[in-house]
């Protein structure tokens, strides 16, 4: 049996970052992760950081490699087949650059910091069950290495992703969920080739395409695909051909192709659970919300949740104030809905929806043309894309 102030379920970026910041404030925590560390570290996820995320990571001592390897961008290029392009220039319109730095690298940095600090991270923990969430003494039980364990705690932070148990522990009479599933996915590849100069969101009548990057010799590319796509039908040559077809010709010529080192299909979903607190349990990150990847807001939202939650625990333990904990759900959700909105609107603008009529297509085109013409429209988009201040 163990005892800690905050039991954290999930050792993804949200759980690891929360534990790291709590330790800086002298607040004990134990992380329970179902998978092995190796498994968590090989998961490939998004990789564009808002300025606020970068600032926070620097503030908590995680900026060293990020500043060395992260690729700073003034914004993202949006192209539309046959119609030209515009740049969502976050530097110009919001005074804030974006940084390409993979979630995998952040997770590595977090594990390294935890190893130095000696935090307790229990990986391969199964059968995790939350007890007495609304009682006076909460506790968590689990199995690890074939043995049953128990952690007594003041609070539980459920950072256990979309399929976690935290959200499921909230009674149906309390939980409200909001969801939209999009009728397509993203087929993504990673390749050890120099990336394109810009981050590019490309709209084409054959579907959306995205060029992203991890480091000077690691690129990430995606194309919109039907949900029932079979990876076996997509050898690298076919991927490159389709990807290039969706870009303007002058940009397509600059793509450096090579063998893929990873290939996968991701569904697109918008999802929010309210409230993000039940009794002594708080939800953070994908456990509470999912955004479609257009806009790259998922990881940034996990970081802002953790910012609000760690600040609230600091106020509670170190300044005897519980107001921020009381208001956590409301505060975090305000920012969540803002990011949900910009992700949803970029997804609707840039993808081909199989059921849409010609009318919707015209509306989309008109919005693109308006963004091309209007500095004000572009400034509004850039401010939201850059991410609201925490």
Query: First vs last Cα of the chain: how many Å apart?
Result: 37
Nearest residue (CB) to ligand PHB, 29 versus 104? 104
Nearest residue (CB) to ligand PHB, 4 versus 212? 212
User: Does 203 contact ligand PHB by CB under 6 A?
Assistant: no
The torsion angles phi and psi of 264, rounded to 5 degrees, stand at -155, 165
Nearest residue (CB) to ligand APR, 201 versus 368? 201
**Which member of 66, 106, 110, 296 binds ligand PHB (CB under 6 A)?**
296
What ranges make up the beta strands (E) of the chain? 2-9, 29-32, 48-49, 71-73, 75-80, 84-89, 98-100, 120-122, 126-131, 138-144, 147-158, 176-191, 199-203, 209-215, 218-225, 260-274, 277-278, 281-283, 289-290
Please confirm whether the linkage preceding 275 is cis (ω < 30° from 0): yes
Nearest residue (CB) to ligand APR, 162 versus 353? 162
Nearest residue (CB) to ligand PHB, 169 versus 212? 212
User: Does 94 contact ligand PHB by CB under 6 A?
Assistant: no
Q: What does the longest C-alpha to C-alpha distance in the chain come to?
A: 65
Minimal distance in Å, beta carbon 140 to ligand APR?
Answer: 9
Q: Of 97-156, which residues contact ligand APR (CB under 6 A)?
A: 103, 125, 128
Catalytic residue ranges: 73, 201, 293, 297, 385
Nearest residue (CB) to ligand APR, 62 versus 159? 159
| Run of H or E residues at 33 | none
**Interface stretch with ligand APR, choices 12-20, 224-232, 268-276, 364-372 (CB under 6 A):** 12-20
* Pattern 61-100, ligand APR, x by CB under 6 A: ----------------------------------------
Give Cβ neighbours of residue 3 (< 8 Å, ≥ 6 apart).
151, 152, 153
The torsion angles phi and psi of 29, rounded to 5 degrees, stand at -155, 160
User: Does 281 contact ligand APR by CB under 6 A?
Assistant: no
**14/20 Cα distance (integer angstroms):** 10
CB atoms under 10 Å from CB of 60, counted, come to: 18
Q: Of 283-312, which residues contact ligand APR (CB under 6 A)?
A: 285-287, 298-299, 302
**223/186 Cα distance (integer angstroms):** 6
Entry field: residues in the chain: 390
Contact partner at residue 286 from ligand APR, ligand PHB, none, CB < 5 to 8 Å by partner kind: ligand APR
Q: Which of 148, 143, 147 is nearest to 125 (CA)?
A: 143
User: Does 193 contact ligand PHB by CB under 6 A?
Assistant: no
**Which member of 6, 21, 27, 46 binds ligand PHB (CB under 6 A)?**
46
Minimal distance in Å, beta carbon 339 to ligand PHB?
Answer: 12
Question: Residues in the site for ligand PHB, rule: CB under 6 A?
Answer: 46-48, 210, 212, 220, 293-296
Site residues, ligand APR (CB under 6 A): 9-15, 32-35, 40, 45-46, 103, 125, 128, 159-161, 164-165, 285-287, 298-299, 302
């Amino acid at each position: 049996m163990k005892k800690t102030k905050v039991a954290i379920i999930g050792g993804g970026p949200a759980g690891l970052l929360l534990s790291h910041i709590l330790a800086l404030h002298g607040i004990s925590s134990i992380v329970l992760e179902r998978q092995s560390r190796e498994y968590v570290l090989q998961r490939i996820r998004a990789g564009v950081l808002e300025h606020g995320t970068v600032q926070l990571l620097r503030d908590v001592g995680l900026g060293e490699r990020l500043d060395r390897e992260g690729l700073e961008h003034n914004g993202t290029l949006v192209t539309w087949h046959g119609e030209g392009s515009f740049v969502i220039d976050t530097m110009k319109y919001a005074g804030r650059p974006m940084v390409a730095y993979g979630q995998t690298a952040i997770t590595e940095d977090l594990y390294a910091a935890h190893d130095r600090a000696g935090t307790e991270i229990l990986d391969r923990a199964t059968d995790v069950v939350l007890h007495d969430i609304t009682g006076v003494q909460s506790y968590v039980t689990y199995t690890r290495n074939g043995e049953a364990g128990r952690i007594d705690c003041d609070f539980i932070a459920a950072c256990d992703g979309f399929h976690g148990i935290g959200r499921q522990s909230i009674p149906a009479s309390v939980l409200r969920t909001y969801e939209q599933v999009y009728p397509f996915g993203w087929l993504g590849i990673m390749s050890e080739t120099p990336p394109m100069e810009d981050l590019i969101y490309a709209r084409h009548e054959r579907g959306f395409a995205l060029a992203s990057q991890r480091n000077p010799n690691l690129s990430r590319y995606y194309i919109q695909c039907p949900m029932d796509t079979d990876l076996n039908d997509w050898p690298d040559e076919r991927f490159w051909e389709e990807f290039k077809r969706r870009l303007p010709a002058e940009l397509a010529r600059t793509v450096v192709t090579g063998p893929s080192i990873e290939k996968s299909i991701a569904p697109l979903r918008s999802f929010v659970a309210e409230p993000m607190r039940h009794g002594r349990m708080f939800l953070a990150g994908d456990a509470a919300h999912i955004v479609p990847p257009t806009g790259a807001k998922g990881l940034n939202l996990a970081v802002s949740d953790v910012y609000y939650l760690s600040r609230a625990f600091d106020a509670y333990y170190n300044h005897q104030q519980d107001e921020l904990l009381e208001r956590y759900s409301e505060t975090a959700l305000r920012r969540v809905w803002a990011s949900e909105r910009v992700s949803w609107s970029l997804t609707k603008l840039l993808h081909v929806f199989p059921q849409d009529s010609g009318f919707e297509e015209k509306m989309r085109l008109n919005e693109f043309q308006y963004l091309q013409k209007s500095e004000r429209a572009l400034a509004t988009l850039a401010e939201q894309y850059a991410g609201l201040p925490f």
